[in-house]
Amino acid sequence: MRITALAGGVGGARFLRGLRAHLDRTPTLSNATVTVIGNTGDDINLFGLRVCPDLDTVMYTLGGAVHEDQGWGRADETHAVQGELAAYGAQPQWFGLGDLDLGTHIARSQWLGQGLSLSEVTARLCARWGLPDRGIRLLPMTDSPVETHVVIDGDGDAPARAIHFQEWWVRMRAGVPARNFIAVGMDRAAAAPGVLEAIREADVILLPPSNPVVSIGIILGVPGVRDALRGSPAPVVGVSPLIAGAPVRGHADACLTAIGLESTAQAVAGLYADFLDGWLIDDADAPALGFAPRLEVQTRPLWMRDVEPAADIAGEAVNLAVKLRRHRPGANPLAGE
Ligand code: FO1
């Protein structure tokens, strides 16, 4: 089975870890492969280095190296370099870069500087963490530089201004209302090699509980991605990133408000309405009212406290997709079906 998933940061990475665990524990699925199309809109240049938070969060989480409580960055991290940068007054100081994590950014920046593409660099970094051996391929959504910027009101009568997503997300903790999100560079971006094929050739497509606006929403803005999802014979099953209308982590509610939507599982499903076939919501968000009639909605607990519950959620998403496949014209039979 070929599974393709569009993923952002922490929620997406935890779901994917559960998915791999579910596949490994299910004999008929253990040789399934997973292609992750990762969001690069969070990427930022810091201290001369290219930092790719969502790609690294997926890589570290699936590679067993993530700082479990934070959900991002490395376990057993130290911050000696950051302390030195602060002592020199190097800016910014609001984005924590640990010593181990800096190793990733230095290697990435060196290879990018030597002319390798972000896809090639990401493949090299992931090889170190053993992702290919586990049937996992992480593709950046595009090899072109794209950065999400957030439009916020100016102070007093100052005009509105755009700041980097990370400054809004980390320094401001999304505490200032976002007026709009702009994927700077998207107009010159092309899908990275293998991205559109991974969507067209998938047996199952999954949308983990990532931020629908600034993670999955940004990936959907890459030319050709949305059309490929609409045209793919594979069923698309998503997992709501909200429980009782609130994000499990992060600020998806503030992001939905910014684009004029309520913070509900229905509103998120509406963002994917033109290609979504199945949708998992938490019991707290039932009754499943207000969803498109053709959408297959299932309710279950969506808390991913650790790998087991995440594996159960991922398993239910895969099972729903396999069920939906049977009713899809043109879906080729699954191996062993
Ligand atoms: N999030 C924070 O809230 N504070 C930080 O200092 C911070 C540093 C950081 C460094 C590397 C990295 O890969 C992620 C980091 N994050 C931090 C998380 C990051 O802002 C978010 O995970 C994503 O960009 C949103 O999904």
In a domain, 151, yes or no: no
CATH code of 272's domain: 3.40.50.10680
Instruction: Read off the pLDDT of each residue in 121-141 and give the average, rounded to a whole number.
Output: 98
Cα–Cα dist 182/326, whole Å: 39
In a domain, 251, yes or no: no
Share of the chain above pLDDT 70, in %: 96
Distance 326 CA to ligand 1 centre (A): 40
Whether the predicted pLDDT of 335 surpasses 60: no
Ligand 1, residues at Cβ distance < 6 Å: 8-10, 42, 51, 53-54, 56-57, 72-73, 95-97, 101, 166, 169-170
In a domain, 336, yes or no: no
Number of domains within the chain: 1
Distance 65 CA to ligand 1 centre (A): 15
What is the CB-side half-sphere exposure of residue 332 using CA atoms within 13 A?
A: 8
* Residue bearing the CA closest to ligand 1, atom 19: 53
The band of 293, judged by pLDDT with boundaries at 50, 70 and 90, is confident
Burial track 119-152 (b if 16+ CB lie within 10 A, e otherwise): bebbbebbeebebeeebbbbbbbbbbebbbbbbb
> Which pLDDT score is estimated for 337?
47
Altogether, the residues listed in the chain come to a count of: 337
* Long-range contacts formed by 148-151: CB under 8 A, 24+ apart: 148/41, 148/42, 148/181, 148/182, 148/183, 148/184, 148/214, 148/218, 149/181, 149/182, 149/184, 150/178, 150/180, 150/181, 150/182, 151/178, 151/179, 151/180, 151/181, 151/182
Q: Is the torsion defined by CA of 289, 295, 299, 302 positive or negative?
A: negative
Cα–Cα dist 1/35, whole Å: 11
In a domain, 19, yes or no: yes
In a domain, 109, yes or no: yes
In a domain, 196, yes or no: yes
Find the domain containing 279 and state its range. Answer: 2-143+188-245+264-326
In a domain, 31, yes or no: yes
> Which pLDDT score is estimated for 128?
98
> Which pLDDT score is estimated for 290?
80
In a domain, 253, yes or no: no
Comparing CA positions, the residue from 17, 98, 97, 23 lying closest to residue 60 is: 17
Mean of the per-residue pLDDT values of the chain = 95
Question: Which numbered atom of ligand 1 lies nearest the CA of 95?
Answer: 6
Other beta carbons within 10 angstroms of residue 88's beta carbon come to 8
With H, G, I as helix, E, B as strand and everything else as coil, classify residue 284.
helix
* CA 269 vs CA 83, 108, 170, 213: distances in Å: 43, 35, 27, 12
- Per residue in 214-232, pLDDT (tens digit) is 999 999 999 999 999 999 9
Cα–Cα dist 142/118, whole Å: 8
